[in-house]
């Protein structure tokens, strides 16, 4: 098992390239199941989760070829399709559930194991299955698998009202609706950029979709989809993470490929905290305005609100802010597991349920800490870069699921960071 060792106190300067979005790519890949023609994704991130999805799609009969050092994925599902997604693969990653809608839409039936992923709280499948049931699917949970069958072998359009704006359910229903008979209307749909990116890809494949990026999406089902080539949108979570690096450490960094519209609520909080964010021709330039960071309050919310996937990283910044910050986690109930690790580095954090109160300290001190999930991993690295002395972050296998080449990217802008094998 590996650890990441950081020597803190280095100001950061230079440019850092931002990869294609993990959450978008993991959603786009199952779209290959909707057509027997090739689907090619460019700007794909090189992550373990992408390899897991490649393995899953391969087990279902898709051919996935990685080109250009993994940044291009050439996919085709033109032969026999296996409609059972096995537990041994699905358990590794939450996004595996996104094969359910496409399999059901194309083949009329599917068996998909309940998914895994980071232990950050309950993420039930009932909102997915309730939506598919309204489209005429009979779904039964047996032996840990969702057994789904479309009435008459084909899904039918329906009006679907989500109880909350679920990203995964919106994606699953959106893909399923492209081949359904008739019109599907998704109310209270998620509005994330990854949803828009999926809709753009599906439209390139021949789907008829309107309203993506709003809370109401309308899909007119078609008989078949064709092949397409699509560029994966910039990863706004990697973008936000690396924007925080110069905010925490000092210096000035340009995040190549970044766009303010992907992270407006986040950028507003950075501005309030004393961080300058400027749109350039090539990306976003980030630097402290002057002196110490100011405390700000943060409440996570679905897009366009403050992303839950940047809460841990923002907490690392606020640990050394001047004043007291309050962070409210409204998306997942178990997402402050990084707080005790930050406290090992000298942070003053008090957690009560879904609220964390952070009293800024003058300086963090390096310490051995342990990553508990994907975003917690990188928050500890950021904290270590601002701390005095050495920080060793253990269990960084989480990191490989969401950040490509994190060590080389951060060392390229001046961080003293290395990945080492544990003794």
DSSP 267-333: HHHHHHHTEEEEE-SSEEEEEESSSSPBP--EEB-STTSB-GGGHHHHHHHHTTSBSEEEEE--S-T
- Candidates 226, 197, 229; CA nearest to 72 is 229
> Order of strands across the sheet with 298-299?
298-299, 324-328, 355-359, 348-352
Element at 228 (helix H, strand E): strand 228-231
398/371 Cα distance (integer angstroms): 7
Q: Is 18 annotated as a binding residue?
A: no
Kindly report whether the peptide bond that precedes residue 311 is cis, defined as omega within 30 degrees of 0: no
420 forms beta bridges with: 3
- Torsion angle of the four alpha carbons 339, 344, 350, 356, in this order, in degrees rounded to the nearest 10: -20
117: number of Cβ within 10 Å: 18
**Residue 120: DSSP 8-state:** S
CB environment 390-419: b (16+ within 10 A), e (fewer): ebbbbbbebbbbbbbebbebbeebbbebee
Q: Which residues are catalytic?
A: 118
- Tokens in use for 271? 């501005």
| Residues recorded for the chain | 423
- Tokens in use for 307? 């992303």
With H, G, I as helix, E, B as strand and everything else as coil, classify residue 160.
strand
- Candidates 75, 46, 40; CA nearest to 61 is 75
With H, G, I as helix, E, B as strand and everything else as coil, classify residue 243.
helix
Q: Is 309 annotated as a binding residue?
A: yes
- Candidates 321, 318, 325, 375; CA nearest to 355 is 325
Cite the annotated binding site for UDP-N-acetyl-alpha-D-glucosamine by residue number: 94, 309, 331
Binding-site positions for phosphoenolpyruvate read 22-23
Binding residues: 22-23, 94, 309, 331
């Amino acid at each position: 098992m590996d650890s990441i060792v950081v020597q803190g106190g280095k100001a950061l300067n230079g440019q850092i390239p931002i990869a294609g979005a993990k959450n978008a790519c993991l959603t786009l890949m199952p779209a290959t199941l909707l057509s027997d023609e090739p689907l090619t994704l460019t700007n794909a991130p090189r992550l373990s989760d992408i390899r897991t999805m490649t393995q899953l799609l391969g087990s279902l009969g898709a051919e996935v070829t990685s080109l250009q050092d993994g940044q291009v994925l050439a996919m085709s599902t033109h032969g026999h399709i296996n409609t059972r997604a096995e537990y041994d693969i699905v358990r590794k990653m939450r996004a595996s559930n996104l094969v359910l809608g496409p399999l059901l839409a194309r083949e009329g039936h599917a068996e998909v194991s309940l998914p895994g992923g980071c232990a950050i709280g309950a993420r039930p499948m009932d909102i997915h299955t309730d939506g598919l049931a309204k489209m005429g699917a009979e779904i039964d949970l047996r032996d840990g698998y969702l057994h789904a069958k479309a009435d008459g072998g084909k899904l039918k359009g329906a009006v679907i009202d989500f109880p909350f704006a679920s990203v995964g359910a919106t994606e699953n229903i959106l893909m399923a609706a492209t081949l359904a008979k008739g019109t599907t209307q998704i109310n209270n749909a998620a509005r994330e950029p990854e949803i828009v990116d999926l809709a753009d890809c599906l439209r390139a494949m021949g789907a008829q979709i309107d309203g993506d990026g709003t809370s109401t999406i309308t899909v007119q089902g078609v008989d078949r989809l064709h092949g397409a080539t699509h560029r994966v949108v910039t990863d706004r979570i990697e973008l936000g993470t690396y924007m925080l690096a110069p905010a925490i450490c000092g210096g000035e960094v340009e995040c190549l490929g970044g766009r303010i519209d992907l992270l407006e609520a986040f950028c507003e909080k950075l501005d309030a905290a004393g961080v300058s964010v400027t749109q350039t021709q090539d990306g976003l330039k980030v630097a402290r305005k002057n002196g110490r960071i100011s405390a700000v309050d943060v409440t996570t919310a679905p897009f366009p609100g403050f992303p839950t996937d940047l809460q841990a990283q923002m907490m690392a910044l606020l640990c050394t802010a001047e004043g007291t910050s309050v962070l409210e986690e409204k998306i997942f109930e178990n997402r402050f597991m990084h707080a005790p690790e930050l406290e090992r580095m000298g942070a003053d954090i008090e957690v009560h349920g879904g609220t964390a109160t952070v009293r800024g300290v003058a300086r963090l001190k390096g310490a051995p800490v342990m990553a508990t999930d994907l975003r917690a991993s990188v928050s500890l690295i950021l904290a270590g870069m601002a701390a005095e002395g050495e920080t060793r972050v253990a269990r960084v296998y989480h990191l490989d699921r969401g950040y490509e080449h994190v060590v080389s990217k951060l060392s390229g802008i001046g961080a003293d960071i290395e990945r080492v094998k544990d003794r």
